[in-house]
Structure 1
């Protein structure tokens, strides 16, 4: 299956699961409150399949799989027979209406917890927060290759993703954070990463790289994938050779080659380039040559004429998040709490202007992540579904008219003033909500397209 078709398929699967649970939350509580449900639809538009139950509710799967809805009996949407008026949504108490509306997002939160529980029971394979390289700010602070981050501030770190999220937030806030590491020799140390030294207006999507940290699994192995014809290495080094040292300095990844060759070129002269060729250790004397950068305006650089393979094999996972069925319950609750705090924290930073609006992702990015997660295995796809389910709950609870949060805002106002908002004010709010939602969707699509182009 191609990446495009895979992205579309897994996006549809994800939306189908999340929307069904969300709408079922509304449906289940509405029925418990005595509201007559006319239709439960997954998708919009013309139904592809439908059936009615004994209560008269039509269950449908529609053609456009981008959402869903629960249609309830409501006098605001048409005439209601006198015999059924007690089943109309608008006739229910304000607390019952709040319960029905809040049930959708709460169903997504519950689904998030269940999915994370299943992920932990299954066992999620991931990468530890081990450093494969350091430079700049991180190197000045004493961080070293092989350090494994185990705690940042008061937050325990299990994976590189945990560390990336915490460090990115700290970078946006301009904080200097205490980082507890386990060194390659096994000792425990606490170092301070001075993220306040990052330049004003730095690229927030690359905060980790700009701080000088490189995760170990990001480091491409120093396997030669191509030798440029006419270069210093042409006829000497072969495709498949693994570079182990340059001028006596060990090479841990392909990026090390460029750094060390540049230093060698600036020093001048030749040096020994050591390689592993099919298990045989060899050394060749080579001198780098000044090479023109393929992109205009980038200047010349020192090179041997080596390039990595077009497709690099990812290293094996070195961290596993695995719990028994009982222990997985509090673990799932903790993880849900962390995801919620991280999401709300990022929303707050975007609203205050501290975080870039580039962090807003749209359906294209989400579809791509869905496809990648599905390829990595059921543990990763369960995590993706859980994160998406929680995001759907948070977005729906935003106080924007047309979303569940907007309706809840109306009902809270009704509780305070003792009567519903006027129809004129509610309609005005709906238009404002639609405008806000359209703007948010436009920004998300713009960011998606920009990522594809760049």
Structure 2
């Protein structure tokens, strides 16, 4: 699928699922509390589909998919039929109104737990955190060597590359030295410190990761497969041979071999490969040929396949997956509040905010990686919606919750004048955040 169309499609899927689940939380609890629901809308603006249910609620899908709402019978919005007074929202006890408001974020939290649980049940394909460092990078200066395996970051064990990068990215927000435990290919363990305090202020995580220079180590220069009838097989190479050099030039890993081979073949297709087989050095003369593989442009090939990177899939049974889901949800929630706190204090840059464009791009990328990756993405966005909606900003659920908590303390509702002023402040804050996130998305696109 075209990347643009794919991003739009998976964005609509993401927002459709999560907004429906969020609003259903408000709707379900409101109905249980005896409040009449007038409209359940996924999206804003003009309806593109609607119908009236047997309960009298109007269900609709609207044109602007960036949210949704549940409209309840509310005396603040007009005169209420005396026959329906018992079903009016503001007449309900404050604890019921609190329950209705909290239900939306609460259902997002439930969705997150279920999404993570399914992800661990299915098993999210990942790779082991065997790393290298870009030359002269911060990671190289800290002592990361090619082939080091990350064991723990910040004192917490890591088993996969994505877990490792999540831990590093979260630590970057505070720009403080980060303890790392590694094991080299010979089995020796050592403790290192990544000097994240040297990172410049005011940049986003992507820029910090570039400066850190920590990368997955490419697979070794081993001929994992040698295709029958191809130049390498005809010359005598076998699967499992370790390639040491091409035309006398040493090869560090398979990525280096893949770069060196076409460069040397362009000079002369006749190549001299030094390999190691069962501990013995051997030499072969291979004549490369030009070929187009899987519809790609023609290039020099000899018929040698690269080894796979070491897999590290977290795949659990139902009960262990549930425990992992709760643990992951707790860690992600703490990370989100940590990021919000550091942004408010100025320790982390607001450039880390992403908007609709960023969400669409990640939605498309994770969907193409498989269902477990997309489930994790859905869970993270759902958790973000829960956290965002609980912030004490008027117009959001957290703002209404704040009003009702004040009402509990003072024994009477917040004045209408205060609520109206709060709505204006909340809208200004919300549009500022949305504008900033949209600007960040555009800026990243222009730089990429």
Please, what TM-score do these two structures have when normalized by structure 1?
A: 0.79
Which residue of structure 2 lines up, in the alignment, with residue 376 of structure 1?
369
> Deviations along 1:175-228, whole A, 9 cap, x unmatched?
2222122322234332222323445556642323323422236x9999xxxxxx
Deviating more after overlay: 43-52 vs 431-440:
43-52
- Mapped contact 2:131–2:216 kept (Cα < 8 A): yes
What secondary structure does 2:125 align onto? Answer: strand
Query: Which of 305, 312, 315 is matched with 1:322 structurally?
Result: 315
1:280–1:445 Cα change, 3 Å: farther
Measured after TM superposition, the shift of residue 131 of structure 1 is 0.6
Which residue of structure 2 lines up, in the alignment, with residue 55 of structure 1?
55
What secondary structure does 1:149 align onto? Answer: strand
Query: Which of 395, 408, 412 is matched with 2:388 structurally?
Result: 395
1:384–1:55 Cα change, 3 Å: same
1:40–1:343 Cα change, 3 Å: same
Residue 33 (str. 1) matches residue 26 (str. 2):
no
1:215–1:90 Cα change, 3 Å: same
Which residue of structure 2 lines up, in the alignment, with residue 196 of structure 1?
197
1:358–1:36 Cα change, 3 Å: same
- Mapped contact 2:202–2:348 kept (Cα < 8 A): no
Structure-2 separation of matches of 1:46 and 1:412: 34
Residue 108 (str. 1) matches residue 101 (str. 2):
no
Structure-2 separation of matches of 1:391 and 1:3: 24
- Mapped contact 1:244–1:252 kept (Cα < 8 A): no
1:38–1:246 Cα change, 3 Å: farther
- Mapped contact 2:35–2:87 kept (Cα < 8 A): yes
1:398–1:87 Cα change, 3 Å: same
Q: Any stretches of 5+ residues in structure 2 without a counterpart?
A: 223-242, 260-270, 276-281, 287-298, 301-305
Which residue of structure 1 lines up, in the alignment, with residue 64 of structure 2?
64
Residue 176 (str. 1) matches residue 169 (str. 2):
no
What secondary structure does 2:431 align onto? Answer: helix
1:212–1:401 Cα change, 3 Å: same
Residue 385 (str. 1) matches residue 412 (str. 2):
no
Instruction: Report 1:129-208 matches (<5 A).
Output: 129-136=129-136, 137-199=138-200, 204-208=205-209
> Deviations along 1:62-118, whole A, 9 cap, x unmatched?
233222111111101111111111111100111111100000001001000001111
Q: Any stretches of 5+ residues in structure 1 without a counterpart?
A: 223-241, 259-272, 284-305, 308-312
1:171–1:389 Cα change, 3 Å: closer
1:326–1:436 Cα change, 3 Å: same
1:171–1:282 Cα change, 3 Å: farther
Aligned residues: 396
Which residue of structure 2 lines up, in the alignment, with residue 446 of structure 1?
439
Structure-2 separation of matches of 1:157 and 1:398: 31
1:99–1:200 Cα change, 3 Å: closer
Structure-2 separation of matches of 1:172 and 1:68: 32
> Deviations along 1:377-407, whole A, 9 cap, x unmatched?
1111111111111011111111111110111
Please, what TM-score do these two structures have when normalized by structure 2?
A: 0.80
Which residue of structure 2 lines up, in the alignment, with residue 230 of structure 1?
none
- Mapped contact 1:400–1:406 kept (Cα < 8 A): yes
- Mapped contact 2:7–2:363 kept (Cα < 8 A): yes
Instruction: Report 1:396-415 matches (<5 A).
Output: 396-415=389-408
What secondary structure does 1:126 align onto? Answer: coil
Measured after TM superposition, the shift of residue 254 of structure 1 is 5.2
Which residue of structure 2 lines up, in the alignment, with residue 432 of structure 1?
425
> Deviations along 1:151-173, whole A, 9 cap, x unmatched?
11232213223222322333342
Structure-2 separation of matches of 1:221 and 1:41: 57
Structure-1 separation of matches of 2:257 and 2:139: 17
- Mapped contact 2:44–2:62 kept (Cα < 8 A): yes
What secondary structure does 1:327 align onto? Answer: helix
1:135–1:202 Cα change, 3 Å: farther
1:450–1:247 Cα change, 3 Å: farther
1:325–1:189 Cα change, 3 Å: same
Measured after TM superposition, the shift of residue 135 of structure 1 is 4.1
Structure-1 separation of matches of 2:422 and 2:74: 19
- Mapped contact 2:25–2:107 kept (Cα < 8 A): yes
- Mapped contact 1:204–1:355 kept (Cα < 8 A): no
Structure-1 separation of matches of 2:89 and 2:378: 31
Which residue of structure 2 lines up, in the alignment, with residue 423 of structure 1?
416
Which residue of structure 2 lines up, in the alignment, with residue 251 of structure 1?
252
C-alpha RMSD of matched pairs (Å): 3.3
Which residue of structure 2 lines up, in the alignment, with residue 234 of structure 1?
none
Which residue of structure 2 lines up, in the alignment, with residue 92 of structure 1?
92
